[in-house]
Amino acid sequence: MKKTLKNIAKAIITTTAAALMMTAAVSAADVAGLENAIDNGIDGLNTVIDISKYNVTTDEAMDVYLDMVDSNPNYFFVNNSVECTYMADTGYAKELVVSYIGDSNAIKAQKESFEKAANEALATVDPSMTTVEKLTAVHDYFINNYSYDFSHTSYTAYDLFVNKTGTCNAFSLGFKYACEKLGVPCEIVVSDAMNHAWNVVTVDGTQLHADVAWDDNLTDDLGALSYDNFLKTDAEIQATGHYGWN
């Protein structure tokens, strides 16, 4: 089951704009600047992020912000509520008003716990391994050490690494984080039709699907491993029941 910040926030603030990159009036420099401002703002735990100089609408700013938070494993401490103000004279977005789960000391401690637990997962990877071997080692560690959260309350990479349980969203964020550390291109794909999320990795120029959460569900909690949904082509992942991904 997937549950993204965008799903939650859009229930609070309705946004109807098309994707930002589809808006011709928005330059690539504005996109990059907006993303950088958001990154720096969240890293500094700023509750107000000034985006007034990027000439984007509130809808566009919200779309970029929510997409970034949804797909960034490190943003587990960002709260669900977000607002976007605008400048009355131009109508462009002025500030993003965000909030965080816990104070700065609590978040610092959580980040340390997150890094420690993630490094334990990556310790199973040897630098001499091939890319497929590295990804398989991470896959196996996830299955052997993490359980699927059937209560559907654990959605972040922090939940997966530290609390050792998570939904498909947590598994996909955690796997993406591991891939980033290993230098393997990895994205999260979402199927609204399935209410599900998983990963696509690039191995030697080929894009392959990796649904570790589904493989985890196929085990019997006795150390068994499944690769039915791991490193599969589009046709192969469709054959296991996946469809409608973005």
DSSP character string of 195-226: TEEEEEEEETTEEEEE-HHHHHHTS-SSS---
Q: At what angle do helices 28-43 and 58-71 cross, to 10 degrees?
A: 60
Torsion of CA 24, 26, 29, 34, to 10 degrees: -140
CA pair distance 130, 189, nearest whole angstrom: 24
Q: Is 205 left (phi over 0), alpha (psi -120 to 50) or beta?
A: left
Short-list 179, 181, 223, CA closest to 201: 179
pLDDT (0 to 100) of residue 224: 76
Domain residue extents for the chain: 5-100, 105-239
Cα 104 to the center of its chain, rounded Å: 22
Which token pair is 185? 């291109």
- CB burial readout 4-41, b (16+ within 10 A) else e: bbbebbeeeeebeeeebeebeebeeebbebbbebbeeb
- Residue whose structure tokens are 């699927």: 148
Give the mean pLDDT per block of 10 residues along the chain (246 residues): 50 35 63 94 97 94 92 93 93 96 96 98 96 98 94 96 96 98 97 97 97 84 81 98 95
Per DSSP, the residues of 158-200 read HHHHHHSEE-HHHHHHHHHHHHHHHT--EEEEEETTTTEEEEE
With tokens 């964020």, the residue in question is 173
pLDDT value of residue 127: 94
Topology adopted by domain 105-239: C8orf32 fold (3.10.620)
What pLDDT is attached to residue 31? 86
